[in-house]
Chain A
Amino acid sequence: MSEWTGVLDLVMENRLGRSVAKSVYFQGAFKVMRPVYFNKNSYPCYYLLNPGGGYLDGDRYQMKVTLGERAMLTLTTQSSTKVYRTPTKPVYQETIFHMKKDSYLEYLPDALIAYKDASCYQKNSIYMEKGATLLYSDILTPGWSPEGEKFSYDMLRLKTEIYMENQLVAFDHIKLHPASQHMNELGFMEGYTHLGSLIVVGEKTSDALLDRLYETIQQEAGEFTFGLSKLAVPGFTIRILANYTQVIERIISVCHHVISDEWYQTKPSFLRKY
């Protein structure tokens, strides 16, 4: 479709134990940098970047990532995604992940920052096959506003659908609309400004892992509150409210370490940003 501001289509496959790109296609204001294989990993990390520097009024982005059987991938961004004023039409970003049997995807983008009068709708559809493992995170951040208001953006909508073997197994729908919601009051942001989520789907999920994650997060410093709960399929959601992006990033990072250690006895690579 030519109406997209930026399109990215990445297909990964497992070639004799090493995950490599089978095809990479991008067009318009969406790019990936050359893959980095950290610490002699058998799978790469791809960095997404937005050459325009931010999302503008009416921009539409589409990202499709397909992982073949047993293919593995880390996907992140080079820096935060900035959404500027959208006077006429919200920014729309669509993300579609197809994960074949026993594939592994870590999608750990930087924060999405919504500036004054910005409106953004992000829709994620994730189709998984049996044995696939997903680590998905997002961070929603209010941008600086000249008047110093805490929530100067217009609307942030984030919808995530996760399917396992073509059946919907998790559905998440966040809509933050400061004009109609009492953001600082009970039930909304509870006095915090930033919202972080980590959604994990993996057959190895256990109560012991959840307990360990809970204790690990509790030991983190800084002002935040969080919740942790199992999904209807093996997997869980962690939700974090805080006042700084860094606090949420740190919590997501320690959780990532705990998961990698419990499941693979490995340490995740530090995702260097250039």
Chain B
Amino acid sequence: MTNNALSLLQLCDSSFPIGSFSQSFGLETYIQNDKVTDANTFSEWLNVYLHEQLAYADGLAVRLVYDALDVDDLNKIWELDRILTVQNLARESRDGTQRMGDRMLDIAESIYKIPVLSIYAQKIRDKQAFGHPAIVFTMIGHHLQVEKTTTILYYLYSTVVSLVQNAVRAIPLGQTAGQKIIYTFQQQLQQTTDKIMELDQEEFGVVSPGLELSQMQHERVGIRIFSS
């Protein structure tokens, strides 16, 4: 492993303070409705979330942003920032993601001097962009010259790790059970990365109805420990 990949790994740590601990992206709705109750049902949810939402939105965006950075096509990136945000029809997930993007950008700016990050930050301040963690993450990965597929894989990994940590607290699951899920998902992450590399751009933003519904319904869930 190169030191550069190690630097990108820093962003994948579930303690990296961008507020992912407060986002469940609809998982809490399933927990409240007793649909997700243990390690098995949680893995089922995580599997659907990874393959049927994350891959088509954030995952494909990482690939496309990476390609755009390769050819210095910044307009393509601002376009992706907008579509990534507005395709999220559930308000809480949309707003939560935006806050995470903002937070990640803040920290990244204090660590790295990457011109495109500063442009992105300025655009967000000027309300010409929304801010999205997948885009910030890719800008850093690209700057560190981490390969595209590795950047996608790490991004998916960081999301999965945070969601598992959240499930451990919320369902609750034992810490060991959580770690077992993360280990088991390695193969899925690799498969999803392969799928993202093959996806047609036309497939962008596909969402499965149930997941989205649970994210909308979360707004009116009775007891909430998460903000999405």
Contacts and interface: CB of A to CB of B under 8 A. Distances in A.
Interface of A: 167-176, 181, 185-190, 195, 214, 225-232, 237, 239, 241
Contacts of B36: 186
Interface stretch (B7-15, B43-51, B108-116, B150-158): B43-51
B116 to A, nearest CB: 22
B208 A168 contact: no
Nearest to B35: A186
Contacts of B206: 173-175
Q: Closest 10 CB pairs between A and B?
A: A227-B216, A187-B48, A171-B87, A173-B205, A229-B216, A227-B213, A190-B210, A187-B210, A175-B206, A229-B91
A50 B208 CA distance: 30
B6 interface: no
Contacts of B44: 185-187
Given A188-B210, A230-B91, A231-B91, 6 more contacts: A172-B89, A175-B206, A186-B30, A187-B211, A188-B208, A229-B89
B173 to A, nearest CB: 17
Taking residues whose C-beta sits less than 8 angstroms from the other chain, chain B's interface range is 35 or more
B111 to A, nearest CB: 30
Contacts of A226: 213
B149 interface: no
B86 A186 contact: no
Contacts of B94: 232
B134 to A, nearest CB: 15
A168 B89 contact: no
Interface in B202-227: 203-217, 219-220
Nearest to B202: A159
B52 A186 contact: no
B220 to A, nearest CB: 7
9 contacts: A168-B83, A185-B48, A186-B48, A187-B211, A226-B213, A227-B212, A227-B215, A227-B216, A239-B89
Contacts of B210: 186-190, 241
Contact of B216 (A168, A188, A239): A239
Contact of A174 (B45, B209, B215): B209
Contacts of B49: 187
A214 B205 contact: no
Interface in B41-62: 41, 44-45, 48-49, 52, 56
Contacts of B35: 186
B85 interface: yes
B82 interface: yes
| B35, B89, B204, B212 — most chain A CB neighbours (10 Å) | B89
Contacts of B196: none
A195 B213 CA distance: 11
